[in-house]
Structure 1
Amino acid sequence: MAKSFRTTKKGCLALNSNHSSVLRNRSFLRLWIARIFSASAFQILSVAIGWQMYALTDSPLQLGFVGLAQFLPMLLLTLPAGQTADRYDRRTIVYLCQLIESAVVVLLIIGSVQGWMSSVHLLIAAAILGACRTFEGPASAALVPDIVDREQLPKASAWSASAMQTAMILGPSLGGVLVIWGISAAYITTLAALLLSVSLIFFVKTVHFVKKLDSMSMDTFFSGLRFVFARKIILGTISLDLFAVLLGGATALLPIFAEDILKTGSLGLGLLRSAPAVGAIIVSLILTRFSIERAIGKWLFASLVVFGLATILFGVSHSIWLSLVALFLTGASDVVSVVIRSTLVQVNTPQDMQGRVNAVNSLFIGTSNQLGEFESGSMAQLAGAVPATVIGGIGTLAVAVIWMYGLFPVLRNQKKYAVEEG
């Protein structure tokens, strides 16, 4: 059984030793590397499918349909995906999803080489990939507590965040280079990355026994939602991400800033898109060495305030260098929040509920990203890109204040990663 976070002095020394050895856990190391490969592959696929769709149709609307085709399966299948992750072996779910994704990529390669690939085929491929990612995400996230000790979760969360940010940097940039060499080159590279991930997942071993759902029913279907809404810490944590990203994200407006405000063109756009991910990966690597374990509520809201202020700074900046610093700070502060929130969710969720709760978390995150882009675009259409970004940053600060002092003071007062009583 995992040790409690309330340990003796001797136990604290053991805790530090456990933290330093999280990558010595071979199963976690394999899962971590597999996540880099699989997430990078998905990023490359998004670039390649979008590129091929535009080449076939010359229609921005069709590009929007690609994103919609990926989002709708998540919206429809998230709750069943959570049930599945708690009913069946999570490693097997991840393994099978990546095998299906590999099969889809094989068909994309064949269709592209033989010349019969159409916009309809691309939309079907995007929908299948979106469905696979919907089932893979909760199972992969819930797999972490199955293979590491409870005391190692903060470090494991930081390493997991670094894997995702590495993919966010490598995937889009590599995808952009590969499509220059040909769409088949992008798909073949994706297939290789997915197969490497599959081989690594195959050798992941779970060490903690998890009681599985005996059956899948309407009661268990909504049990994840009920569990989240019954616990202030989890509900506050997940909803904080939803509204902070919904209001404060400026990613969708970066092309406008690069072209019309900063006058830097495509090169500047590439730098602007990379800056948050660079900040995130640097801080996530720091957190793998020096994890935040005390006054975590204060750290959580401090990071959110920095995120809001940096968003406002980016909005008013007319210097590419100042803008890059501001975006770097948004990524750096966001990953602090991500690590704290994900660890709080995992610590406060029983292992047999991890799949369903992580599915709800994925739904909130996916919704915030999709609606956040819509909110930013709509606000920019009404008020302009600069006011929209500044208003978004102010909105993030307002959310921080409301959550701290109004809706979820329990989060502000959280001193360490402990299970919510009651």
Structure 2
Amino acid sequence: MSLPHPSPDGAPTSPLQIADYRKFWLARFFAVLATTGTVVIIGYQLYDVARTDYAMSITQASFQLGLLGFAQFLPVFLLTPVAGVVADRFDRRKVAGTAALLDMCVALGLGIVTTLEIRSLPVLYAFAVMHGMVRVFISPAMSAIAPNIVPPKLIPRAIGFNSIAMQAGTIIGPAAYGFMFAAHHALPYWCSALFTLGASIAIQAIRHLPAIPRDPAKAHPIRQIVEGFRFVWSERFLFGCITLDLF
């Protein structure tokens, strides 16, 4: 697919004409692909281990699966305000890139324990929590990058392309990882390691990103978090959207 031609004055007419945005889009797609696929495979493995190794009933194994979802959600709930402050105060490329590398380590760990067949419920819960902790730092940092690497008039189109990357990764990830798991149980995790490594390289390869302004008078991080909660609470429409999304 050829890229759209620039306008007569040389200005880009599409975010895809901007090299930094193409790197961002690729990083976004790889990160979502790895995350959604890994979540599905961890869930399947935990249910299978609960049924076979622990001789649990369908109801008991399903309850374990629900606890797994809670274990993955809890870090997101607790660390999202912290991740937002980190993304505001540090180079977002480094934040997202480092988090992606840590996610790669989680995928490698899951691949090793799966290959060696040393899986157990505590081990899978531990990796699920670690996966939830590192991925919560990826999304805020990445989301804040796109508006800073495209001209203001192209931001709506950039948001649309962002949505395509997320939806494509969300749809392709679980299906592709299911086929990988059928071929070899550790294969999805090896691929996740490659995808997250690719995401880290792509996001840190972005060159033209405005520096984070250093304001000595900037509010304390805890105060920023509290002010963020106050803002969400006062904006009823925003509060309703976030609450609905959480449920």
**TM-score category by the smaller chain?**
0.7 to 0.9
- Residues 99, 135 of structure 2: 8 Å contact kept: yes
1:218–1:64 Cα change, 3 Å: same
**Whole-Å separation in 1 of the counterparts to 2:157 and 2:70:** 34
**Whole-Å separation in 2 of the counterparts to 1:191 and 1:207:** 26
In the other structure, the counterpart of 2:174 is: 172
- Residues 91, 211 of structure 2: 8 Å contact kept: no
- Residues 111, 189 of structure 2: 8 Å contact kept: yes
Residue 155 (structure 2) pairs with residue 153 (structure 1): yes
Match of residue 225, structure 2, among 221, 224, 229:
221
In the other structure, the counterpart of 1:88 is: 90
CA deviations over 1:106-156 (Å, ceiling 9, x no partner)? 111111111222111111111111111211111111111222222221011
Residues paired across the two proteins, number: 230
CA deviations over 1:137-178 (Å, ceiling 9, x no partner)? 111111112222222210110000000010111011112211
In the other structure, the counterpart of 1:64 is: 66
- Residues 86, 212 of structure 1: 8 Å contact kept: no
Superposition RMSD in Å: 2.3
Match of residue 78, structure 1, among 72, 77, 80:
80
- Residues 146, 209 of structure 1: 8 Å contact kept: no
In the other structure, the counterpart of 1:104 is: 106
Match of residue 165, structure 2, among 163, 166, 171:
163
**Whole-Å separation in 1 of the counterparts to 2:214 and 2:227:** 14
**Whole-Å separation in 2 of the counterparts to 1:126 and 1:222:** 28
Match of residue 34, structure 1, among 18, 27, 40:
27
**Whole-Å separation in 1 of the counterparts to 2:215 and 2:38:** 34
Residue 241 (structure 2) pairs with residue 368 (structure 1): no
**Whole-Å separation in 2 of the counterparts to 1:239 and 1:138:** 18
SS at structure 1 position matched to 2:207:
coil
Match of residue 46, structure 1, among 5, 28, 39:
39
**Whole-Å separation in 1 of the counterparts to 2:155 and 2:118:** 47
Percent identity (aligned):
28
Q: 1:19 offset after TM fit, Å?
A: 6.4
**Whole-Å separation in 2 of the counterparts to 1:156 and 1:212:** 27
1:177–1:213 Cα change, 3 Å: farther
1:56–1:229 Cα change, 3 Å: closer
In the other structure, the counterpart of 1:142 is: 144
**Whole-Å separation in 2 of the counterparts to 1:213 and 1:68:** 38
- Give 1:240-255 correspondences, 5 Å limit: 242=241
Unaligned runs of 5+ in 1: 1-13, 243-363, 372-422
Higher helix share: 1
Amino acid at match of 1:103: C
- Give 1:5-404 correspondences, 5 Å limit: 20-58=13-51, 59-212=61-214, 214=216, 216-228=220-232, 236=237, 238-239=238-239, 242=241, 364=242, 368-371=244-247
Higher RCO, Cα 8 Å, sep 6+: 2
SS at structure 2 position matched to 1:20:
coil
**Whole-Å separation in 2 of the counterparts to 1:71 and 1:144:** 25
Amino acid at match of 2:44: W
Q: 1:226 offset after TM fit, Å?
A: 3.6
